Amino acid sequence: MSELNVVGKSYPQIDALEKTMGKTRFVSDLVLPNMLYGRILRSPFPHARIKQIDTSRAETLPGVKAVVTYADTPGVRFGPRTEDWTIFARERVRFCGDEVAAVAATDEDTAEEALDLIRVAYEELPFVTDPLDAMKPGAPLIYEDKPGNIAAEFKIEAGDVDEALKKSDIVYEDRYCTNQVYQAYLEPMGAVADIDQSGRITLWAGTQIPNMMRMTYARALSVSPDSIRVIVPDYGGGFGGKFENNVHLIAVVLAQKAGRPVRVFNTRHDDFIAGNPRVPMYIDIKIGATKDGLITGKEVQVVGAAGARVVYAQAIVSTACYRVDSLYRFQHVRATGYTVYTNTVPTGCFRGFGNAQMTFVLESSLDIIAHELNMDPAEVRLKNAIGPNEVSVHGWEIKSCALKECVSKATETANWSEKRKRKEKFKGIGIACCNHVSGNRPFAREFDGGAGIVRVGRDGRVLVFHGESDMGQGQKTAYAQIVAERLGVPLERVHVAPVDTDISPFGCGSFASRGTVMGGHGVLAAANDAFRQLTEIAATMLEANPQDIECREGKFFVKGSPETTLPFRDVADQATRFRHGAPIVGTGFYDPPTVLPDPKTKYGNISPVYPFACHIAEVEVDPDTGQVDVVNYFAAHDSGRVINPMAIEGQIQGGVLQGLGWVLMEDMVTEQGKIINPDFLDYLIPTAEDAPEVKSILIEPVDPNGPYGAKGIGEPALNPVMAAVSNAIYNATGIRMKELPISAEKIFVELKKQKK
């Protein structure tokens, strides 16, 4: 592995040209013969009883082919985790946006017009939108069988926290509040559904979890999972937002009723009010340290708002409770998490998956502790940082770990000490670290790991099949590089098939920063199998032993005799001839060294590798307006060996910018139970104008458990941003913000207070 030819080199994403030239066919571009257009009627109230639905006028509108409500569905309760969904609201709506009815018509305008003709008689009910309010006695109950509106409670404890805090030289205790933000992918959610004569469903959807989704939907539709085929064409982003959603199921139900294919895509407004944005949290933290800056113990309580349905909020709250515990050498920790129903949009996965929320809190707290102890915040991180070949408090077996190098390299590159010394007014510098997983054993439950199929065609074209999902993050390119490296061919020879549950291997999907490690190992194993078959042919042609055959840059040769080569294409062609048309098909899988954690203690190694990062933000705060300008940004990452430096820098820049949006600008504002800024006019995300120069620093330990030593990058790129910026703002202004976003308005108010 000393000499790599494709892995470790920068390449534009293999589909970059198609995308740049506007040639990519995204899922919402799909047209089927005879296809209808669907639109969804959503609740205008946060909580109401449905007294009557009259669809008769809509049904008679020319061009309308199907109108569906709860009455047209199997009516079962389902959900990816908690079975609290129905496809359409039954009797009650529980959030503004709840699905009440849907229409399929010959065009979008007719469908829209038909929605206006559906008469729904509602009786408004009292509602609650704040999770702390929702937990109070007397709060309106969103589900009768959930007292206190508590959907789930999570507890984890290790060591003796009380004793540890008691013995601390300093204990910091506070409440933080993280807000609700939207994934803001370019292409709204939706699907095209088609039903064949046997009733089998084909669903084209942009989804991060094609295989798991179809299992959820099979329950929703009361059919077997093999009655559903999910195909994932190119789609415009996900960032965690594209898991299960009723919009897909509504396409199916409309197609079933109309007997024609139906396309249903959210408008941007629909996507804001009925997507699955980030879980907003109240986080109480109590953390102790010695006067030398060593963390003694930590206790947290997380209250997360699930909205009207638990989508993945429960898992996200759990993650918030304890993932950071493996960032430092914690020994005594306790956490309680409450996932709470509210009459708001159901919340789900978003890059960082709870860890981002808690990283903001922990890394703010460490900054405060460092300040209290008059220590360099970087020093505090270095003192507590977990290291390679350690086992964390929750049993995570960390192999490679360059967290300390991340801190050192980031501070060195940022000129951290110097800048802190010659501190100027309203200019500040802040630091934050993070850890993450690359796969999460308990998430998919049934099994972890990855699998691949590698087909070598007669012409030497290599096609890779995987069961994960490329939402634009570049998964396909990483797989192509791994397979190209293993087979010894140039990257352009390797192509990656779209996921199709009928054809691809089973894969858990794109979440938990698992794609490169799990899927990468899966396609690598398949490439090994294909290579073995190829060497058998090449060996015959070169009159050598298969084990002596190598391939490099598309040429086979016998080890030690690189002067006689055989083009890869010729070997593939010969293989197909020898095999009378049968292409080389390699299959393989990866069995990660993970375990399902103990159900009680959660102790156990949940990921094969663990990435780490340290970010440093430099800000200037406008004293007159409170506006924060991020002038410099340094992101040091240990993501193991980097498969594609250009791609990982893209991930880092994207993650940082998304984090900057969250910490400084973005907020889904709910008033009277209604999101009042559900569009890009009122909900501002950063643009290129807002982007600082992000200096990526890549530290590359070769992890023994990563494919070619790689670890994940997707989420670590975002996790530390909020704290790094908040800490820099504190450094610039002395203002400590504990509620996101840290908008200019809020700083302005604080600055005014300071002036008094």
When binding is defined by CB under 8 A, the residue of 505, 611, 659, 706 that contacts a second copy is 505
CB of 11 to a second copy, least distance (A): 14
Q: Closer to a second copy at the Cβ: 117 or 252?
A: 252
Q: Does 186 bind a second copy (CB under 8 A)?
A: no
Beta bridge partners of 452: 466, 588
Nearest to 387 by CA among 371, 359, 408: 408
CA 593, CA 722: separation in Å to the nearest integer?
32
When binding is defined by CB under 8 A, the residue of 17, 71, 121, 669 that contacts a second copy is 17
Q: Which two tokens stand for residue 607?
A: 């990921």
HSE-CB of 302 using CA atoms within 13 angstroms: 37
Residues 6+ apart with CB under 8 A from 47: 92, 93, 94, 95, 124, 125, 126, 127, 140, 142, 343, 673
Contact criterion met (CB below 8 Å) for 239 and 14: no
Q: Closer to a second copy at the Cβ: 391 or 582?
A: 582
Residues 6+ apart with CB under 8 A from 374: none
Q: Which two tokens stand for residue 198?
A: 């046997």
Q: Closer to a second copy at the Cβ: 32 or 171?
A: 32
Q: Closer to a second copy at the Cβ: 17 or 669?
A: 17
CA 468, CA 494: separation in Å to the nearest integer?
17
CB of 693 to a second copy, least distance (A): 30
Site string for a second copy, 477-496 (x = CB under 8 A): ------------------x-
**DSSP labels for 651-662?**
HHHHHHHHHHII
Stretch that binds a second copy, among 279-287, 540-548, 588-596, 648-656 (CB under 8 A): 588-596
CB of 24 to a second copy, least distance (A): 9
When binding is defined by CB under 8 A, the residue of 91, 173, 292, 591 that contacts a second copy is 591
Q: Closer to a second copy at the Cβ: 197 or 547?
A: 197
In the range 439-478, which residues lie near a second copy by CB under 8 A? Answer: 446-453, 455, 457-461, 463, 467
Q: Closer to a second copy at the Cβ: 197 or 374?
A: 197
Q: Closer to a second copy at the Cβ: 15 or 367?
A: 15
Q: Closer to a second copy at the Cβ: 25 or 167?
A: 25
Q: Closer to a second copy at the Cβ: 302 or 575?
A: 575
CA 525, CA 514: separation in Å to the nearest integer?
16
Q: Closer to a second copy at the Cβ: 142 or 524?
A: 524
Residues 6+ apart with CB under 8 A from 676: 669, 670, 682
When binding is defined by CB under 8 A, the residue of 55, 82, 208, 501 that contacts a second copy is 501
Q: Does 12 bind a second copy (CB under 8 A)?
A: no
Stretch that binds a second copy, among 20-28, 60-68, 175-183, 643-651 (CB under 8 A): 20-28
Q: Does 2 bind a second copy (CB under 8 A)?
A: no
Residues 6+ apart with CB under 8 A from 586: 452, 453, 454, 455, 456, 526, 527, 528, 529, 530, 531, 532, 533
Find the Cα–Cα–Cα–Cα dihedral 96, 205, 253, 346, rounded to 10°: -20
CB of 93 to a second copy, least distance (A): 35
Q: Closer to a second copy at the Cβ: 139 or 575?
A: 575
CB of 556 to a second copy, least distance (A): 18
Q: What is the CA radius of gyration of the chain?
A: 27
Helices 721-733, 645-660: inter-axial angle, 10-degree rounding: 50
Contact criterion met (CB below 8 Å) for 82 and 310: yes
Q: Closer to a second copy at the Cβ: 17 or 71?
A: 17
CB of 518 to a second copy, least distance (A): 9
Stretch that binds a second copy, among 18-26, 151-159, 617-625, 700-708 (CB under 8 A): 18-26
Contact criterion met (CB below 8 Å) for 568 and 584: no
Please tell me the count of residues contacting a second copy according to CB under 8 A: 57
CA 314, CA 305: separation in Å to the nearest integer?
9
In the range 393-422, which residues lie near a second copy by CB under 8 A? Answer: none
Nearest to 512 by CA among 319, 281, 756, 271: 319
Q: Is 589 helix (H, G, I), strand (E, B) or coil?
A: strand
CA 700, CA 749: separation in Å to the nearest integer?
43
When binding is defined by CB under 8 A, the residue of 43, 276, 473, 576 that contacts a second copy is 576
Q: Closer to a second copy at the Cβ: 365 or 501?
A: 501
Residues 6+ apart with CB under 8 A from 390: 329, 398, 401
Q: Does 502 bind a second copy (CB under 8 A)?
A: yes
Q: Closer to a second copy at the Cβ: 24 or 336?
A: 24
In the range 29-48, which residues lie near a second copy by CB under 8 A? Answer: 29-33
Q: Does 18 bind a second copy (CB under 8 A)?
A: yes
Q: Please list the alpha-helical segments (H only) found in 131-276.
A: 131-135, 161-166, 210-221, 246-258, 268-274
Which strand ranges, in their side-by-side order, compose the sheet holding 561-567? 549-552, 555-558, 561-567
Q: How far is CA 141 from the centre of its chain?
A: 30
Stretch that binds a second copy, among 27-35, 43-51, 104-112, 687-695 (CB under 8 A): 27-35
Q: Closer to a second copy at the Cβ: 14 or 401?
A: 14
When binding is defined by CB under 8 A, the residue of 143, 426, 506, 603 that contacts a second copy is 506
Using a 10 angstrom Cβ sphere, with 0-12 exposed, 13-18 middle and 19 or more buried, the burial of residue 622 is middle
CA 625, CA 628: separation in Å to the nearest integer?
9
When binding is defined by CB under 8 A, the residue of 4, 171, 177, 497 that contacts a second copy is 497
Q: Closer to a second copy at the Cβ: 167 or 579?
A: 579
Q: Closer to a second copy at the Cβ: 303 or 584?
A: 584
Site string for a second copy, 192-231 (x = CB under 8 A): ----xxx-------------------------xxx-----
CB of 163 to a second copy, least distance (A): 42
Q: What are the two backbone dihedrals, phi and then psi, of residue 609, each rounded to the nearest 5 degrees?
A: -140, 160
Stretch that binds a second copy, among 17-25, 67-75, 383-391, 700-708 (CB under 8 A): 17-25
CB of 141 to a second copy, least distance (A): 39
CB of 461 to a second copy, least distance (A): 5
Contact criterion met (CB below 8 Å) for 642 and 431: no
When binding is defined by CB under 8 A, the residue of 176, 511, 568, 590 that contacts a second copy is 590
Q: How far is CA 690 from the centre of its chain?
A: 23
CB of 588 to a second copy, least distance (A): 6
Residues lying near a second copy in the complex (CB under 8 A): 17-18, 21, 23, 25, 29-33, 196-198, 224-226, 446-453, 455, 457-461, 463, 467, 495, 497, 501-503, 505-508, 522, 525-526, 576-577, 579-583, 585, 587-591
